[in-house]
Structure 1
Amino acid sequence: MEEIVIIGSGGHAKVVIDCVEQSKQHMIIGLIDEHKPPGTHVYGYEVLGGLDTLRASSGIVAIGDNWIRSLMVDRIMQLNPQFRFMTSVHPSASIARGVTIGEGTVVMAGAIINSDTEIGKHCILNTKSSVDHDSRIGDFAALAPNATTGGQVRMGQYSVLSLGAQVIHAIEIGEHSVIGAGSTVLTSIASNAVAYGTPAKVVRTRERGERYL
C-alpha cells in the first residue's frame, strides 16, 4: 500500500480517515495540521506538524470547506509541484460504468455515482449522497450527506449541496453557489448565489470564499 498523509485533523478528516482505512488502498503515516500541536493524536494517527513538515509525496486534503480546501491545495503545489493527490472511495459506495473521478476527491460510505458522470478534482461526495447519470460536478464542489441530483445535472466548481438537498433532472447550478439544507431545486441557479426552500429560490448573492460551514 502506498503511504500517504492526511492534511487536516478535524471532523471531516475523521470521516476521510475512515474512508481511507476501509478502502485499504493507502496507508496513513500521519496528519498535517497547522492548528494542532505536533504529537497530538487523532484515531491513532499523529499530527506531524504544519506544511513545513510535509515530507510525504502523496496525500488527501481533508478540509470540509471548499474554498479553504482549494487554498491548501495551492499551497501544497507551491511547496512541492510533484505532490500527488490521491482519490479515496469507500467500499460501500456504488460507482457505475463510465464514471470518472478527479484527483483528491473522496467518495464516502453509501454514496452513489451513476453512469457516465464526471466528478471533478478535490470534491466531497459525503455519506449517502447521490449523483445520477450523465452529470458533471466541478472541481472543489461538495455534496453533503443525503444530497441528491437527478440525471444531466451540471454543478459548478466550489458549489455546495447541503444536507438532504435535491436537484431535479437537467438543472444547472453555477459556480460558488450554496443550496440550503433540505431544499428542492426545480430551476437552474446562477453562480455566487445562496438558495434554499422548496422550490429553492435565490435569497442573496455570496462572495467567493465566503464561509458556509
Structure 2
Amino acid sequence: MKNIVIIGSSGHGSAILDCIEKEAKYNVIGFIDSFKKKDTLFNGYKILGSEYDLPYLMDKYNLFGGIVAVGDNWNRQQLVRNITKVTSTFQFISTIHPSAIIGRNVRIGKGVAIMPGVIVNTNSMIDDHCILNTSSSLDHDGHMQEYSSLAPRVCAGGNLSLGAFSSIGLGSYVIENITIGAHTVIGAGTLVLRNIGNFAVAYGNPAKEIRKRKANEPYLSSQRPLIFPLVKSIASNF
C-alpha cells in the first residue's frame, strides 16, 4: 500500500483516519499539523511536523500524498494551496467509508472525504476537496462544486447544485432542483424550498437569506482561523 499522511489532527482528522483504515487502500504514516507539537501522539500516530516539512517527509517516508482533514471549506482550500506551493508532487487522495453507497456513474474528485452512511445517487458529481459527512445524502444528478460540504444527516433532493465553498448545515433538507450559490452557509435544521444566492447566510423553515457573508468568515462552532507562517521549510529541525 502507498504511504500517506493526514493533514489536520482534530475530530475531523479522527473521522478521516477511521475511513482510511477501514477502506484499507493506503498506509497512514502519521499526521501533519502546524498547531500541534512534533512527535506528540494523536490516535496512536505521531505528529510529523507542518505542511512546510512535506518535501523532507515525502523523501524520508516515501510518501505518495495524503488528504486535508480540515472541516472549514475556506481553511481547507488555504491549506491545499500551501501544500501545492511547498511541493508539486504531493498527491491528494480521496477516501470513501465502506458503509457509504455510491451510485452508478458518480464522479468523485481528488481530496474528497465521504463518511459512514453517506448515499450518493446516480449521475452525481463531487468536485475536488469536498466533504460529505455522516449519513448525508446527495440524490441523483447532484453537483457539489469544489470545497463544498454537507454536514451530518443533510438530505438533498435530486439536481442540487451546491456552489464552491458552500456548506449545508446539520440535519437540513433541500428539495429537488435547487441551486445554492458559492460561499453560502445554510444553517442547521433548515428546509430549503427555493434557490439561495452567493455569499449568503440562510436558515429557517422555510429557508430565508438572513445576511451576506465574506468568503473567509468562520461558520463552524469550533473553528479558529488558520495563520500560515511565511517559511519554506523547518525540515532542518529533524
Q: Distance in 1 between matches of 2:172 and 2:128?
A: 22
Following superposition, the deviation at residue 192 of structure 1 comes to 0.3
Instruction: State the Cα deviation string for residues 110-163 of structure 1 (Å, max 9, x = none).
Output: 000000000010000000000000011000001000011100110001000110
For the pair shown, the structure with the greater C-alpha radius of gyration is 2
Q: Percent identity?
A: 46
Pair 1:17-2:24 in alignment: no
Following superposition, the deviation at residue 42 of structure 1 comes to 1.0
Following superposition, the deviation at residue 51 of structure 1 comes to 1.6
Q: TM-score, normalised by structure 2?
A: 0.88
SS at match of 2:201: strand
Paired residue type of 1:127: T
- Which residue number corresponds to residue 174 of structure 1? 181
- Which residue number corresponds to residue 40 of structure 2? 40
Contact 2:9 2:33 (8 Å CA) reproduced: yes
Between 43-52 and 184-193, the greater mean CA deviation after superposition? 43-52
Contact 2:52 2:83 (8 Å CA) reproduced: no
Q: Can you give the 5+ residue segments of structure 2 that lack an aligned partner in the other structure?
A: 221-238
Following superposition, the deviation at residue 81 of structure 1 comes to 1.4
- Which residue number corresponds to residue 96 of structure 2? 89
Instruction: State the Cα deviation string for residues 59-91 of structure 1 (Å, max 9, x = none).
Output: 000001000000000000011112110010000
Following superposition, the deviation at residue 52 of structure 1 comes to 2.5
**RMSD across aligned positions (CA):** 0.7
Q: TM-score, normalised by structure 1?
A: 0.99
SS at match of 2:76: helix
1:112-151 maps to which residues of 2 (within 5 A)? 112-151=119-158
1:175-190 maps to which residues of 2 (within 5 A)? 175-190=182-197
Between 52-61 and 141-150, the greater mean CA deviation after superposition? 52-61
Pair 1:206-2:189 in alignment: no
Paired residue type of 2:124: T
Following superposition, the deviation at residue 92 of structure 1 comes to 0.1
Q: Can you give the 5+ residue segments of structure 1 that lack an aligned partner in the other structure?
A: none
Q: Distance in 2 between matches of 1:34 and 1:8?
A: 8
Q: Distance in 2 between matches of 1:106 and 1:89?
A: 6
Q: Distance in 2 between matches of 1:40 and 1:147?
A: 35
Q: Distance in 2 between matches of 1:143 and 1:172?
A: 14
SS at match of 1:104: coil
- Which residue number corresponds to residue 68 of structure 2? 61
Structure 1: 4+ residue segments shifted above 6 A = none
Q: Distance in 2 between matches of 1:138 and 1:166?
A: 18
Paired residue type of 2:101: S
